[in-house]
Amino acid sequence: MRRVTLTQFLIEQQRAGRVSADLRLLLEVVARAVKAISVNVSKGALAGVLGEAGTDNVQGEAQKKLDVIANEILLLANEWGGHLAAMASEEVETVHQIPFDYPKGGYLLLFDPLDGSSNIDVNISVGTIFSVLRNPPGGGDPTEQSFLQPGREQVAAGYAVYGPSTQLVLTVGNGVHAFTLDREMGSFIYTHPFMTVPEETQEFAINASNARHWEEPVKRYIGELQEGKGGPRGRDFNMRWVASMVADVHRVLTRGGIFMYPIDEKCRAQGGKLRLMYEANPMAMLIEQAGGAATTGREHILDIIPSKLHQRIPVILGSKSEVDRVTGYHLEG
């Protein structure tokens, strides 16, 4: 059987005029970095990479050793290729400029190097999320302002999930495509063309321990799901919560569902729990490209004009009919 690699897929996208040579290089470099992160994640205790790094990130969260390692791998891999104008990472406070001895390109790369890192030490799936924007014309080094573009401007987005297998899930604006890492060969093989989120679902994902802090529309929506067959929805719903956004969204992309981290009284002061630029925007682009929907409960995530690099927002995404319903409850109120 002929196997299509990520490289071949990207070359074909380039030939079809969907990606430029530089964007192809960028995505190949990200995929190479993801392979290195996958190796480190899978060695676990054998490589002494588990546990705390002993430092805090810009958000004041304790960093795990693997947060720091994954961040370093992505920064170093992407500095020298000449395809980037600058980078921004969930783990780094300010814009990461390309060292001046390397050429600069026209793209901006943003990433959450290791999402769900509270799950590392218990050997549960974690992931890397990334987003690609164009550097706005204007000359000079990119500033924070250069990155503050709505998610609709993303030219590519994706994530890697480090689970029983490592998968890279990618969109360049032409559907969602997934690749599975062949560890012996060291290459990503095209295994899931044009992934779609089924419109209907009977599965939801939310951290239900926050229930007492939720707003009314979320309480109403989740309450109706929990009433099951005898309630207004007339059927039973199942709940899953991995607490790794990548793993939860991957399940939604694979078999449908709704994923929610809504605004609540606990996270209201910060604007939400999840990060707009590193988590919400890339996942929203993937979900919309797969036929699903992504809102904050009140507006489309991809339409939000960011106000700062590390901005947090509420996230509701997945099967369209469910996202539309709970968004409708918010807009009624």
Residues that bind Mg ion (CB under 5 A): 112, 115
Choose from ligand AHM, Mg ion, none: what does 244 bind? Cβ within 5-8 Å by kind.
ligand AHM
Quick one: 117 or 135, whose CB is closer to ligand AHM? 117
Q: What is the closest distance, in whole angstroms, from the C-beta atom of residue 117 to ligand AHM in the complex?
A: 5
Residue list 196-225, contact with ligand AHM (CB under 6 A):
207
What is the dihedral sign for C-alpha 305, 311, 312, 317?
positive
Q: What is the closest distance, in whole angstroms, from the C-beta atom of residue 118 to ligand AHM in the complex?
A: 6
Listing DSSP states for 143-158 in one string gives: -HHHH---GGG-SEEE
Output the residue with the shortest Cβ distance to ligand AHM. Answer: 245
* Token pair belonging to 38: 């996958």
112 binds ligand AHM (CB under 6 A): yes
Distances (CA, A) of 4 to 10, 82, 168, 187: 10, 27, 14, 10
Radius of gyration of the chain measured on its C-alpha atoms: 19
Contacts of 296 (CB under 8 A, 6+ apart): 263, 272, 304, 313, 314, 315, 316
Cβ-contact 306, 272 below 8 angstroms: no
Quick one: 296 or 327, whose CB is closer to Mg ion? 296
Output the residue with the shortest Cβ distance to Mg ion. Answer: 115
Cβ-contact 319, 256 below 8 angstroms: yes
61 binds ligand AHM (CB under 6 A): yes
244 binds ligand AHM (CB under 6 A): yes
116 binds ligand AHM (CB under 6 A): yes
**How many residues bind ligand AHM, per CB under 6 A?**
11
311 binds ligand AHM (CB under 6 A): no
Q: Which residues in this chain contact ligand AHM in the complex, by CB under 6 A?
A: 61, 112, 115-117, 207, 243-245, 248, 261
